[in-house]
Amino acid sequence: NGQRKDLGKKIQKAILFNQCKGLDSNTVIIVDDSDIIKSKAKKMEGLKKVRDGSTGRVDQNGYDLINIVACHPEKEGYLIKPLCSDLYSSDIEQDSIIQVTQERMEEIILYGNNQGVFVMDRGYDNRSMFSFLQDNGCDYIVRSEGKRNLIVNGVEKRFLEVAKTVDLKFTIKDNDKNKTFQSGIKRVKIRLDPYPKKELETTDAWLILSRHVSPKGKKGGFFYFLCDFPNQNLTERQIVEKVLKMY
């Protein structure tokens, strides 16, 4: 009835408030988009063409899904704390999906006292998200697509051109997975304006390069991260270690 119209939102906020208790600088807050494929469905309400993350197909009916989950290290293993889950249908525009995602993140920042590190995959390597993270002073790790330009010493350059200047001076060992990584770090700026102009709006970030090195010395391909930790006082090596462990 009319009196219960906003009950779902009130319950969602109450759950989120409770789940955000105890977040700290070691908590990973995973922001992850996914999909629910309904390939056989014909008449379900709100169906849309979605991208199947497993196959890359974009011709099947279904729904987009955004999940945000906190993962907190304990003495034995990790405590998994679901924070929110939203299903998107055909009547929701992409800009609205981004807006809802950032609204959920704002609630987590509020209820969790801006603790934890937001960790996101390559789909979130966009100016809107970097602007949001800067405005809210968030600690974050974003897996980079390696396609955007970066600014170093006031000069905007192609991503790979900047990446080639990064010294892989750190050898990081992951004893839990018996893996070794060669890694490097460089301070850069990300342009937030869609087009270059004289007075650029930018945000500062760390560019992390890393690749796996086998026990026999065979080197794997590079993977990249853009990150920042304004709420933590970390050395360059600690930043690289934190990014590799959390991601």
Which of 172, 153, 154 lies closest to 223 in space, CA to CA? Answer: 172
pLDDT value at residue 6: 77
Which residues are CB-neighbours of 230 under 8 A, at least 6 positions away? Answer: 137, 138, 139
| pLDDT of residue 162 exceeding 90 | yes
Q: Are strands 117-120 and 139-143 parallel, antiparallel or unpaired?
A: parallel
Model confidence over 199-228: pLDDT tens digits? 889 999 999 999 999 888 889 999 999 999
CA 207 to chain centre: 14
| pLDDT of residue 101 exceeding 80 | yes
Question: Mean pLDDT of all residues in the chain?
Answer: 86
Q: 53 near 73, Cβ under 8 Å?
A: no
When mean pLDDT is compared over 78-87, 91-100, 183-192, the highest value belongs to 183-192
- Confidence bin at 1 (pLDDT 50/70/90): very low
Reported pTM: 0.86
- Confidence bin at 8 (pLDDT 50/70/90): confident
* Tokens found for residue 159: 């991503």
| pLDDT of residue 196 exceeding 90 | no
